[in-house]
Structure 1
């Protein structure tokens, strides 16, 4: 993309916001370099990455990235044999630890599916041995510890002993000869312990003078008695530094051995932080993942300018590239025309950068090869160009480069010159761009362009609404309705006398007046349509409330029925248990009778009576049948009721005089004639031309699109659709629910788990729609 265009559309401010959400210097570096891509597949991958990160943030709220630093310069130094400092070695260890914690955090997540981020995390290789080696040598403050080596421990022990002896010697001077000292303290000069001696007592304390105060009144003297101890201390410190350098060289060599793995880890960690910074930016804007296309189609519902606060911004619906390729926006100054231009341009650049756009779920954005914009006053004093000349220089450059994969934004096209010539020039420029099939949005004050929008194919008018009552713009974009000048109405409300307004109206041409009348009529029709929509929306909400209440009552009924069934089952179990016990008593009695030579008739009768009485008293009420029902000879396609299942079905085959094959839903069952109740015969089919006869399956598609539907309505549609798909005999169907918040996807998967006719449910593959589609395998 042209850098000037990025500046005009304020893309740099978006990058600044994005950078602020990165937690590591690696992520900030990646965010700062972000530029829009014109490759559709690359953009789709970026959007999927951002969406996966958004899902994690929605479920977990954060991601651990602590301790990760930019160690690329450190690794470069080790590659050329350099030795890292203790703090640099510690940076390597903390980065290893941060990558390990991030890997553990993502691997522990069960939901949702995260194919891209999981693949990235899998490439992180923890280096526990190197991390432990570094942390065994360097503490959290970046200091080499005594335990780093036995030699270092011994040297530091010696240093502590010498410092203690030295301190005792020096303190004896501060106590016994304090009157000769400027201050009764021990200080350091040239890395040696000294005393601040007054100038007049120089000869009283023998030793080496290392420094004096700026006034010359104080000399810093190392007493002769501590010179040898100081020498030993300096030698020990040299040994300490030499041992520390050896330890750091050893750690640097170990880091160099794992440098390829560390470099790859750093690259992955930078990518993860960058992805999550994009997701955090989207969350802050309440943005949605757009569906990307290469057809120049833009559809945004309730879109908001990304750089305006919620208090300032007015959401608008924007659509381009479906029914028309160009929009001409008219309306008053400060009404929001330029904001709309920048909204579309900036959202396009954001979407092509893998950033989500501030609009409702289900939005669509196009991937353009180039975005061109002529916005604002670009008058150049240095080049001695007027505003008109500056605009025309820019427009000439645009016309030379524009093609069918371009988005062009014109602000006040043709302004800055004679109105009649400017309007004609604007129409010619639009003709040129529209004929190249580019996507165009232009703002203008010229009334001639309103008629141009009506007469030109693939071009539509739009306007920014103005409230005549308050004399203030509402900033609402109205596509399909050109803007009115409102000059006479505004003047009247501001107090201009009526005869002046009437005289002005007489000077207005007939064509202009008729256009204004037409626009006024369209505006009135729009207001009436909006009022009707609001009424319809109220009715819909009321119906939805009634539906919810009925569902709740039905649920209560089902719960009550279930309790009654459970109570009946418990009673039946008790009866069966009683029967089992009585039967056992009978068996015991028969065993006793067995010892007799023979049983008498009255004894057998008594035993049979006991068995009959032991039968559980479970009575099943059967539906009444018609007198002639069993005598009717059922035919194929007759509708019948299967009494044993209390379900309706259709006869598909007569097996014998007393047995039939019946289709009940998606099942075929065998049933006795006595268990079938005739309902009605099929209507005789009328002869139709072959081309108009269709099977049921031709009315049922193998996929159902639920995007944009409310949650309850979507699940209701899904249940009805599954019945039709089962009857159509589909082995599997695709349910398109989009990605969005994930609520609809979870609802579809939950229904699939409890549906008896669904074998399995899985997310769509890369060529099936990805996680925006659920594939259901039917029984």
Structure 2
């Protein structure tokens, strides 16, 4: 797209709004460089990214993008041997932390499906060790801490000692020589402690003069007795600077070693911020994702101009590219014709940039190779060109380039010259562009063009509605209805005599009057159709509401019936149980009788079995015995849902869906595959909630004493281990077990290395024979 089109359609204002939505300088850099793409696949990918980010915003309301900086210049300087400042190192640590928080945020989300964001998050490398190395050396204010090295700690301790001794000496002077001082204070000149001595007492206090006041009445003297101490202090400060430089050099070298990963992380973070900036703009505009095509189809319902406020803008339905490829809009000035042109052009540019457009869901837009526009007064004083000449120069340039992959917008085509010649030129230009199968929207004042749409295939008339009663435009676009002259009606409303109006009408030909009458009839027919449509919409909404109410009542009836059945069955079961107990008593008494000796034991067992089989099969019992549920389960199962495995009569958790109607279920320590009909839904996976702080160690903090890392990826396992250890420490556990399996031993080594370097882990050991052996590492916590 050429820069002139972007300027004419005010695309830059959209970019400015988009730039405000970016959370970091990385995102702002990408938004500032955004341009429309003419590649369909690229545009579709951009739209998918924006929609995916929008779904996250709708569900979560926010995304953690704070603390991310553009650290590319700092990374580049480290690769050529440069030493970074403490603040630059701190920005790198903050960016690493921000990336890790964002990665965790995306990984923890269960819904919706987010393939693009998940792939980007998975490619982020945490670099926690580098971040920790920087944090251990530099505090949040950008100051190198004493603990950055043992040598620095020693140097700063000596500096504090020297400063204390110098101040003690100087304080003794301020007390004993106060009359000789301009003020009883100790000050600093040239990084050395000095006293403000009056000029006349210069000889009374021996020492080095470092400065004097502007009047010369006060000299700033370093007493001879503190010169050596000040010298020692300066030497210590030089050592401090050298040690700080050494620490920063080592940090810069560590950063340089990870420059490739850091640069890649920065690129991914900028991409994610860019995605969410586009989604935030879409939310702000109440926009929707358009379906994209390369066939020139544009369909927008209730489309609004992106740069006009919500209270002022009038939504319109716009369609082109299917039944017709060109629209000719006629109507009065200030009616909204130019706004309609810019709306279509700007929404097209936005869609091709991956931005959502302010229209109802289900809109469709085309990807054009070029968008051409001749809009507004382009008179050039410097070139001595008239308005007409300037427009024609632009139109000639458009006609040289336009093809079937172009969108062309003409505002007041043929204006600025003789009406008859202008109208003829306008029709000829439209014929040329329509013949090349471009998509065209043109506005005009010429009445001759009202008939143009009726005489050309693929061309349709349109107009902007004008309210005769209020003498104001409504800004509503009427497709299929050409604009008609309202001069007579307006004149009558303003008080012009009727005989003057009738006289004026007599000067208009019969054909013109017929056309005006036809237009008036079309407008009335369109209004009636819209009223009928609104009534039908209301009836449909009412019918849907009634259907929902009936379904709700039916469900209540079904539930009530089930409860009554269950109650009746419980009552019957109770009666049967009572009868059974009575029968058992009778049988016991008979067995004690002498006649019992005449019956064999197997005959008593048969009688007992016949009694059991004589009981009615209650619905509740059937449900317990049947391998399948009473009703066919249709609820879609997701990983994390709790289910009952009917074939084993055991409860478990969905791990994964392995086929169309087949799932993998974790039942205790086993993982089994089962068909959907063999599973009964119990409850959905509970959403993640931040656990409350423990009020009593080990009691209120809900965390297990073991963590199972088997099957985890290396990085994810370390992240889970870090969080689990923090939780276990907070819960006050003295000992926890980490289950990592035997496998290759990589995960076991990682766990043990982590334990060695954690200050709150006292020791670690392999599990005993009854604890899992070498597949488990037991951590002793401080």
Q: TM-score range by the shorter chain?
A: 0.7 to 0.9
Residue 587 of structure 1 and its aligned partner are, at CA, apart by: 4.1
In 2, the alpha carbon distance for the partners of 1:536 and 1:263 equals 58
Tell me the residue number matched to 2:304.
304
Residue pairs, 1:53-452, within 5 angstroms? 53-452=53-452
Give the superposition deviation at 1:593: 5.3
Cα displacement (A) at 1:616? 5.4
Task: Report which stretch shifted further, 373-382 or 582-591.
Answer: 582-591
Question: What is the CA-CA distance between 1:573 and the residue it aligns to?
Answer: 2.2
User: Which region of structure 1 is more displaced relative to structure 2, 211-220 or 143-152?
Assistant: 211-220
Shift of 1:615: 5.2
Give the drift of 1:363: 0.7
Distance in 2, Cα, partners of 1:52 & 1:382 = 49
Contact map agreement 2:412 2:445 (CA 8 A) in 1: yes
Structure 2 counterpart of 1:517: 517
Q: What's the CA shift for 1:756?
A: 11
The more displaced of 181-190 and 492-501 is: 181-190
Quote how far apart the aligned CAs of 1:594 are.
7.0
- Once residues 226 and 118 of structure 2 are traced to their aligned partners in structure 1, the CA distance between those partners, rounded to angstroms, is 65
Offset of residue 454 of structure 1: 1.8
Corresponding residue SS for 2:301: strand
CA contact (8 A) 2:49 2:275 kept: yes
User: Offset of 1:619 from its aligned partner?
Assistant: 12
Cα distance 1:612–1:17, how it changes in 2: closer, same or farther (>3 A)? closer
Q: Residue 215 of structure 1: CA displacement?
A: 2.9
Aligned to 1:528: 528
What CA distance in whole angstroms lies between the structure 1 residues aligned with 2:115 and 2:616? 60
Contact 1:329/1:443 (<8 A) preserved: yes
Q: Distance in 2 between matches of 1:465 and 1:44?
A: 35
- 1:585 CA displacement: 4.2
1:315 positional shift? 1.0
Contact 1:579 1:614 in 2 (8 A): no
Cα distance, 1:617 vs structure 2:
7.8
Determine helix, strand or coil for the equivalent of 2:215: coil
- Report the Cα distance in structure 1 between the residues aligned to 2:205 and 2:99, rounded to whole angstroms: 60
- Structure 1 residues 220 and 598: CA distance shift in structure 2, 3 A: closer
| 2:747 counterpart residue number | none
Deviates more, 1:235-244 or 1:326-335: 326-335
Residue in structure 2 matched with residue 36 of structure 1 by the alignment = 36
Deviation of the 1:595 alpha carbon: 4.4
Give the Cα–Cα distance (whole angstroms) in 2 for the partners of residues 732 and 97 of structure 1. Answer: 40
Q: What does residue range 289-688 of structure 1 map to in structure 2 within 5 Å? A: 289-585=289-585, 587-588=587-588, 591-592=591-592, 595-596=595-596, 598=598
> How far, CA to CA, are the matches of 1:107 and 1:349 in structure 2?
33
**Partners of 1:575 and 1:617 within 8 A in 2:** no
Alpha-carbon contact 2:590-2:596 (below 8 Å) kept: no
Give how far 1:291 is off.
0.7
Aligned mates of 1:304, 1:16 — CA distance in 2 = 19
Matched-pair contact (CA < 8 Å) for 2:374–2:411: yes
More displaced, 214-223 or 136-145? 214-223
Query: In the aligned structure 2, how far is the partner of 1:732 from the partner of 1:520?
Result: 59
* Structure 1 residue 508: Cα displacement: 1.5
The Cα shift of 1:608 comes to: 9.8
Question: In the aligned structure 2, how far is the partner of 1:611 from the partner of 1:147?
Answer: 86
Give me the whole-angstrom Cα distance separating, in 1, the residues matched to 2:660 and 2:323.
34
Kindly indicate whether the alpha-carbon contact (under 8 Å) linking 1:583 and 1:614 is maintained by their aligned counterparts in 2: no
Q: Which structure 2 residue ranges, 5 or more long, are not aligned? A: 620-631, 633-658, 662-674, 682-782
Q: Measured at CA, do residues 42 and 575 of structure 1 come closer, stay the same or move farther in structure 2, by a change above 3 Å? A: same
Q: Is the 8 A contact 2:569 2:618 kept in 1?
A: no
Q: Deviations over 1:441-473 (max 9, x none)?
A: 111111111100122111111111111111111
Deviations 1:560-603 (A, max 9, x none): 2222222232233234434533553454355345745658xxxx
Distance 1:234 1:594, change over 3 A: same
CA distance in 2, matches of 1:530, 1:522: 12
Secondary structure of residue in 2 paired with 1:265: helix
Partner of 1:690: none
* CA drift at 1:495: 1.2
- For residues 158 and 610 of structure 2, the distance between their equivalents in structure 1, rounded to whole angstroms, comes to 104
SS of the residue 2:540 aligns to: helix
| Equivalent residues in 2 for 1:672-711, closer than 5 Å | none
What secondary structure, in the 3-state scheme, does the structure 1 residue paired with 2:318 have? strand
Task: Give distance in 2, aligned partners of 1:84 and 1:610.
Answer: 89
Q: Return the alpha-carbon distance in structure 1 between the equivalents of residues 596 and 557 of structure 2.
A: 59
- Could you give the per-residue CA deviations for residues 160-186 of structure 1, whole angstroms, max 9, x where no partner exists? 111111112222233333333333322
What CA RMSD, in Å, does the superposition of the two structures yield over aligned residues? 2.8
Does the CA contact (< 8 Å) of 1:586 and 1:611 recur in 2?
no
Q: Deviations over 1:252-309 (max 9, x none)?
A: 1111111111111011001011101111111111111111111111111111111111
CA displacement at 1:480 relative to structure 2: 0.9
Counterparts of 2:458 and 2:270, CA distance in 1 = 45
Task: Assess, with a 3 A threshold, how the Cα gap between structure 1 residues 613 and 325 changes in structure 2: closer, same or farther.
Answer: closer
3-state SS of the aligned residue for 2:83? coil
CA displacement at 1:488 relative to structure 2: 0.8
* Counterparts of 2:680 and 2:455, CA distance in 1: 55
Question: Quick one: distance in 2 between partners of 1:73 and 1:613?
Answer: 85
Q: 2:554, 2:308 → 1: CA distance?
A: 47
**What SS class does the counterpart of residue 451 from structure 2 fall into?**
helix
Do the aligned partners of residues 753 and 558 (structure 1) sit closer, same or farther apart at CA in structure 2, a change above 3 Å counting? farther
Residue in 2 aligned with 1:17?
A: 17
Separation in 1 of the partners of 2:89 and 2:515?
76
TM-score by length of 2: 0.76
Change (3 A) 1:377 1:219: same
Residue equivalent to 1:724:
none
